Amino acid sequence: MSVSWSAMRKKLETENICDSLKGRITYFATRYRKSHDELGRVAIRLDGNEVFKSCYYDYDIKRHESWDEINESKGRRTSYSESGEEMELGALVKGGISQYGFYDAFYIYSNNDINDSLKSSNPVVKLFAVLDRRVGKRTLEKLKSELDSLPEWLRYFYKLRIESEGLK
């Protein structure tokens, strides 16, 4: 059963968001129905300023960059189907996501335990989880050691949550 965008947004912005960031974080997703491909974009705003954004074209470029890196590391040309999951993950790490990938990440996040979401290989699932009210200060303290291994765009949200809770 699919969830409407407004229900997803309500869950992310009001029901599951930590108290220290409630009202400061907003999510945006749209599909341009009159464009030739009806694709759209997603964004996360902090105090009205977009701090993370991506559209299908960003995502597609980052997928191709990841594919090139995979081919370089393997020393041969791989097919899209052979390197599909690696390519998708590489694009996410680089900050590229389509609105459908955003919806998929929400589905994974909302149907998993919060600890599983924090350990997910999908950085967007981790983003939703780290901003979740169920993640307490002790867990945040433990997550500090992971900061260096996170993509730069995701590190921003981890630091934001840690600082909003008064942890240094």
**Domain boundary assignment for the chain:** 5-164
β-bridge mates for residue 53, sequence order: 43
Q: Mean pLDDT, to the nearest integer, of 127-149?
A: 93
Residue with tokens 């993509």: 151
Rounded CA-CA distance 13/1 in Å is 21
DSSP tag of 112 = S
Tokens of 4: 């409407």
Q: Phi and psi at residue 147, in whole multiples of 5°?
A: -50, -45
> What is the rounded CA–CA span in Å between residue 64 and residue 68?
6
| pLDDT tens digits, 84-118 | 788 888 888 888 888 888 889 999 999 999 999 99
DSSP of 121-157: S-HHHHHHHHTBTTS-HHHHHHHGGGGGGS-HHHHHH
pLDDT, residue 22, reads: 94
Please give the radius of gyration of the chain, using alpha carbons only, rounded to the nearest integer: 16
Q: Tell me which of 39 and 19 has the higher pLDDT.
A: 19
Contacts of 46-55 spanning 24+ positions with Cβ under 8 A: 46/160, 51/156, 52/95, 52/153, 52/156, 52/157, 54/95, 54/96, 54/97, 54/98, 55/98
How many percent of the chain have pLDDT more than 90? 53
Average pLDDT, the chain: 88
